[in-house]
Chains A and B, each alone.
Chain A
Amino acid sequence: MGFFELLAQSMPLFLMGMRLTLELSFVSLAIAMVIGIIASLMGMSSVPLFRAINRTFVAIIRGTPLLVQGYFIYFGLTGVLGIRMTAFTAGVIALSLNAGGYMSEIFRGGIQAVDPGQTEAARSLGLSKSQTTWRIVIPQAIRICIPSVVNQWCITIKDTSIISVLGLAELTKMGSQIIARTFRSFEVWIMVGILYFIVIYLLTVLARIVERKVSLD
């Protein structure tokens, strides 16, 4: 069986895997953005307890591997709490907490990178704290954050492959299943790699267009 024949034969499985990879990525990243925003606001809060919660959260996420986080949620937590959870749910929780932790640092960095003079100018005009935050600081922080956020999206899309160990038939898992039947490791991993590459490449192209659109330079 030649390369293209193998490819054609495997395509239905690849597409199924790809679909799950994209679903995992999309749902996790959407939730991660919300977690990131809330966590970053907590990190910059004047309430010491909120800052402590944020610091602890980020430290745990950064300090432990995603694989361990996934196992802990899917097997550890469900066992102790006596709850049942699908592998997909556990994967989404692990990925969104993980990406959310990194996003919160990205957002905090972006907001803190806005020149304090901007806040002073807005406040001196009489704008309230929240008007200053939403009209002046956030629009500038978003522009600063875009490259790092896109970077995190790429990382998380690829991290879904780690979550395949929970038994999710996403793209990487599909690859190993096809190999189990065909013993064509070399070609199949190239195909899997190319499929990830295409998704990420399209995303970065899109991001570059957006970035150029909103750029101030």
Chain B
Amino acid sequence: MIKVEIRDLHKSFGEKEILKGIDCDIETGEVVCVIGPSGSGKSTFLRCINCLEQPTSGTIKVDGHLMDENAKNIDELREDVGMVFQQFNLFPHLSVLDNITIAPILRKKMDKPTAEATAHELLTRVGLADKADAMPRSLSGGQKQRVAIARALAMKPGLMLFDEPTSALDPEMVGEVLDVMKKLAIEGMTMVVVTHEMGFARQVADRVLFIDGGVIAEEGTPDQVFGAPKSERLKGFLKAVLEAS
């Protein structure tokens, strides 16, 4: 079953065209990792899926519903698409628990005890059962990101978007976040992950997209993309990444 259908997606900022025509289907339960040099349009691609960026042209459908910033039901459509940001973006004025319950209470009209019970379950799942009453500022980067994942999961989304979720973390905290993501993938969550963690992509992805210059320059299984890259651009990118690490 197709979860996300992207057709001829273009996005420009002013004169500068960032995405130059992307076609892509994502199956339900599929884990897609998006790699590519910085400035290639990976994040913009991801942010178009839940309409944080409105496409200049082309269409994105999630479960057959057109994602359009001006659509009346865009808020409901976004409820089904969770997003995790590079900078966590936890709400600093709310406790960890309130960060997780605010959307279910406001959007799903869930009563507070139910929302809090769900939040405690989610915190246990991400290994932060004891942090419910903490304020975000007291958490480490890795803990913040795990709370951010729990917050997104509280809306029971059918699709999760990850925008370089480990890029702002100290190296020793990358593992704890990737572990949570791996568990999610195993549980069958549909995921699109923009990442520089080639190890994670190789191990967890069903499919890897290499975006370069605003188009999908190459795609395939992790074995194909990492084991037998075809294009010179991908070969060059992988070489540069491996040398860096």
Contact = CB atoms under 8 A, between A and B. Distances in A.
Contact of A118 (B50, B75, B89, B151): B89
A140 B93 CA distance: 7
A139 interface: yes
B130 interface: no
B79 interface: yes
Interface of B: 50, 52, 75-76, 78-79, 81-83, 85, 87, 89-93, 102-103, 106-107, 135, 137, 148, 151-152, 155
Interface string A122-149: 1111111001000110011001000000
B85 A121 contact: yes
B151 A143 contact: no
A216 interface: yes
A126 B79 contact: yes
B24 to A, nearest CB: 20
A125 B148 CA distance: 11
A45 B102 CA distance: 26
A127 B107 contact: yes
Nearest to A125: B103
Given A120-B52, A121-B148, 10 more contacts: A124-B50, A125-B79, A126-B79, A126-B103, A127-B75, A127-B107, A135-B102, A139-B93, A140-B92, A217-B137
Contact of A120 (B85, B90, B152, B155): B85
A216 B83 contact: no
Interface string A4-37: 0000000000000000000000000000000000
Nearest to A140: B93
Interface of A: 115, 117-118, 120-128, 131, 135-136, 139-140, 143, 216-217
User: Which 10 pairs between the two chains have the least Cβ-Cβ distance?
Assistant: A126-B79, A121-B89, A125-B103, A124-B83, A117-B89, A126-B78, A126-B107, A139-B93, A128-B75, A126-B75
B87 to A, nearest CB: 5
Contact of A121 (B91, B106, B155): B91
A117 B107 contact: no
A179 B79 CA distance: 70
9 contacts: A117-B89, A118-B89, A120-B89, A123-B75, A124-B82, A125-B103, A125-B155, A126-B103, A139-B93
A117 B148 CA distance: 13
Contacts of B90: 121
